[in-house]
């Protein structure tokens, strides 16, 4: 499979071999280069850039690209891009940094990457929020994140010096773009459809995936496993009440292990990203991300990546349609899956005419069932999935499948950066 990613650019890993990385760190320290400790969000975005998840980006955006993305939803070279990827610094952190400097970025005290600074700039955060999220209300989590940025930004290329150590249970699921494409080729998949998720799966999610699988197969002959579903779980900032990461990942993988899918048509993986809840704009970002992973199709349900009532249920569909000619991935649109007792089956909203009897999936109801610890009917959640969620609660969630203060304080981090020596 060709290694061409979003925007028609070749995916290149920006990672120095270990011996060269050690020499580079020694060189930077010898000449007194500036060192900056980065927070987790920035560390994960450095990793994403370095492995090609964010192709064609080679680093953090300059002012021209930020402005172009905000105003035109494109990079300055014309590539569709919807969310600014920025490196923010305080005045104190920026002190002594000049354009064309190389600075050493560290995480948890260990070398992480070298940053070739090409520009130091400011940008109006309220303008950024309005452009990306369509609102300046800080009740919107993406707007709140934007307002929390420090006062200055650094633009320029990064090179990873110290690849992350992915910790259990996540290590088998971290599959960077170049490796992912090899896996698809080994499986013989000609088309792969992405399922974006940050939840444990109920049967509505399962049927969403199966419906997209059927749509994606289309005219291909059915005698070979030509089409696969990739569950790409977003792993990032956690809020109280979210499902814990371990439960999300292992519950989705259980759909394959328990036979509701199979090795021939299902995989689970992770991507590091702090959700922006940007609705339609985040849908565009997800299209770029999954193009880089080698996928050909991407499923989009109602209110994709939205929050509250900031976006209409099908705004993401409409925005995707407006730029579809500039994407290298095909959107697969769907409405809601629900249960119709009259038909006696899980079905698609609008497919039958028993609207008054439809029973829609309720996330709140499913959460309450899980909290009660009573195994739900198979039509709501597969028993094997429920068992995994409960096991994860005990093993990883300190008794709860949902994020608590204790989980945030004591959980094993998804990845660590170890000393470079």
**Edge-to-edge strand order for the sheet containing 297-300?**
266-272, 227-235, 191-197, 297-300, 330-333
| Residue tagged 């049927």 (tokens) | 207
pLDDT at 109: 97
Predicted local distance difference test score (pLDDT) of residue 155:
98
The two beta strands, 297-300 and 330-333, are: parallel
User: Which pLDDT does position 1 carry in this prediction?
Assistant: 52
- CATH number, span 6-163: 3.10.400.10
* Pairing status of strand 152-160 against strand 359-360: unpaired
164-209 tens-digit pLDDT: 999 999 999 999 999 999 999 999 999 999 999 989 999 889 988 9
Asked if the domains at 6-163 and 171-415 fall in one CATH topology, the answer is no
Residue 344 is predicted with a pLDDT of 86
Q: Which pLDDT belongs to residue 2?
A: 81
SS (H, E, C) the chain: CCCECHHHCECCCCECCHHHHHHHHHHHHHCCCCEEECCHHHHHHHHHHHHCCCCCCCEECCHHHHHHHHHHCECCCCCECCCCCCEEECHHHHCCCCCCCEEEEEECCEEEEEEEEEEEECCCHHHHHHHHHCCCCCCCHHHHHHHCCCCEEEEEEEEECCCCEECCCCHHHCCCHHHHHHHHHHHCCCEEEEEEECCCCCHHHHHHHHHHHHHHHCCCCCCCCCEEEEEEEEECCCCCCCECHHHHHHHHHHHHHCCCCCCCCEEEEEEECCCCCCCHHHHHHHHHHHHHCCCCEEEECCCCCCCCCCCCCCHHHHHHHHHHHHCCCEEEECCCEEEECCCCEEEECCCCCCHHHCEECCHHHHHHHHHHCCCCCCCCCCHHHHHHHHHHHHHCCCCCCECCHHHHHHCCCCEECCCCC
Q: Dump pLDDT digits (tens) for 337-360.
A: 788 899 988 888 888 999 999 988
User: How do the domains of the chain map onto residue ranges?
Assistant: 6-163, 171-415
Q: What does the pLDDT read at residue 421?
A: 83
Task: Give pLDDT tens digits for 129-154.
Answer: 999 999 999 999 999 999 999 999 99
Superfamily (CATH H level) for 171-415: HUPs (3.40.50.620)
pLDDT value of residue 4? 96
All residue ranges of the chain with pLDDT < 50 are none
């Amino acid at each position: 499979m060709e290694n061409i990613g979003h925007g028609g650019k070749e995916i290149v890993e920006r990672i120095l071999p270990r011996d060269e990385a050690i020499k580079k760190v020694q060189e930077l320290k010898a000449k007194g280069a500036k060192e900056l400790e980065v927070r987790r969000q920035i560390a994960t975005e450095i990793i994403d850039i370095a492995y090609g998840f964010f192709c064609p980006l080679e680093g953090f955006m300059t002012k021209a690209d930020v402005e172009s993305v905000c105003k035109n939803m494109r990079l300055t070279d014309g590539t569709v891009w919807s969310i600014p990827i920025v490196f923010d610094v305080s005045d104190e952190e920026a002190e002594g940094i000049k354009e064309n400097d190389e600075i050493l970025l560290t995480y948890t005290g260990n070398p992480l990457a070298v940053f070739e600074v090409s520009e130091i700039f400011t940008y109006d955060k309220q303008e950024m929020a309005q452009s990306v999220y369509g609102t300046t209300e800080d009740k919107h989590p993406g707007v709140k994140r934007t307002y929390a940025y420090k006062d200055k930004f650094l633009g320029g290329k990064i090179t990873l010096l110290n690849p992350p150590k992915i910790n259990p249970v996540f290590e088998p699921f971290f599959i960077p773009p170049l490796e992912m494409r090899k896996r698809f080729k080994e499986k013989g998949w000609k088309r792969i459809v992405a399922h974006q998720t940050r939840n444990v799966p109920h049967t509505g999610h399962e049927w969403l995936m199966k419906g997209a699988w059927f749509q994606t197969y289309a005219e291909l002959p059915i005698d070979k496993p030509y089409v696969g579903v990739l569950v790409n779980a977003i792993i990032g900032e956690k809020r109280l009440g979210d499902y814990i990461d371990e439960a999300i990942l292992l519950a989705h993988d259980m759909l394959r292990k328990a036979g509701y899918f199979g090795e021939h048509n299902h995989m689970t993986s992770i991507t590091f990203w702090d959700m922006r809840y940007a609705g339609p704009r985040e849908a565009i970002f997800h299209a770029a991300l999954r193009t880089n992973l080698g996928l050909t199709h991407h499923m989009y349900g109602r209110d994709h990546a939205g929050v509250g009532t900031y976006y209409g249920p099908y705004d993401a569909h409409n925005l995707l349609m407006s730029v579809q000619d500039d994407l290298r991935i095909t959107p697969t649109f769907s409405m809601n899956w629900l249960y119709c007792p009259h038909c006696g089956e899980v079905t698609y909203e609008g497919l039958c005419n028993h609207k008054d009897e439809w029973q829609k999936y309720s996330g709140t109801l499913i959460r309450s069932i899980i909290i009660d610890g009573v195994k739900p009917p198979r039509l709501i959640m597969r028993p094997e999935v429920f068992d995994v969620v409960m096991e994860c609660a005990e093993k990883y969630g300190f008794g709860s499948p949902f994020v608590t203060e204790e989980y945030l304080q004591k959980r094993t981090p998804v990845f660590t950066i170890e000393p470079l020596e």
